[in-house]
Amino acid sequence: MKIGVFLGSARREGNTEELVNRVIKNIDADVFHLLDYRIEPIVDMRHTEQGFSPVDDDAEDLVKKMLEYDVLIFATPLYWYTMSGHMKNFIDRWSQFLRSESLGFLPNMKQKKAYLIVTSGDKRKITPLPLVQQFQYICQFIGVEFVDYLLGTGNKPGEIVDDSSALAKAEEWNAIFRNM
């Protein structure tokens, strides 16, 4: 099983990245920091005769890499009660690749399993649940099996270590991924 992590945090070494590191500790997984890629916002051309125009950015290369993995872990902090802008731009651009027969985006994505990590500064674990539901709908729309989610609480970098339930679930996932 090949595991690819798509990290949408706008900062390095924050709480989201800490949870990712715990989940993939001693596991062969590749992490893609979306902030390292230039992903332009989508220009919606779904209903035009010519379709989407090519965009000079990193989105297509990143999608090609994503298609190489069996397990996809999406990790994002909760920003204004939704995913980060980096993650949103990445997922919005999938619309462009739904039409691409050469990539085989949709048939390939239907073979994947998805996991979601969300960190939030809000101690109430219900606050990120609409975002979890949003990812469930995204996965359902493209036929990806949405397996599980992990919610962590931490605002300032390093505070995630105080969330014992998130750390315990990260260890559980680590054991699952080691045994895949």
Q: Summarize pLDDT for 23-59 with one digit per residue, the tens.
A: 999 999 999 999 999 999 888 777 777 777 788 999 9
What pLDDT is stored for residue 102 in this prediction?
83
Residue 135, phi then psi, degrees to nearest 5: -65, -35
For residues 118 and 76, give the distance between their C-alpha atoms in angstroms, rounded to a whole number.
Answer: 5
Superfamily of segment(s) 3-179: Flavodoxin domain (3.40.50.360)
Can you list the residues of the chain whose pLDDT is less than 70?
none
**Contacts of range 58-63, beta carbons closer than 8 Å, 24 or more positions apart:** 59/89, 59/90, 59/93, 59/96, 60/97, 60/103, 62/32, 62/34, 62/37, 62/90, 63/93, 63/94, 63/97, 63/103, 63/105
Domain segments of the chain: what residues? 3-179
What's the pTM value of the predicted model, to 2 decimals? 0.96
What pLDDT is stored for residue 99 in this prediction?
79
**Using an 8 Å Cβ cutoff, are 18 and 77 in contact?**
no
What pLDDT is stored for residue 160 in this prediction?
96
What pLDDT is stored for residue 48 in this prediction?
79
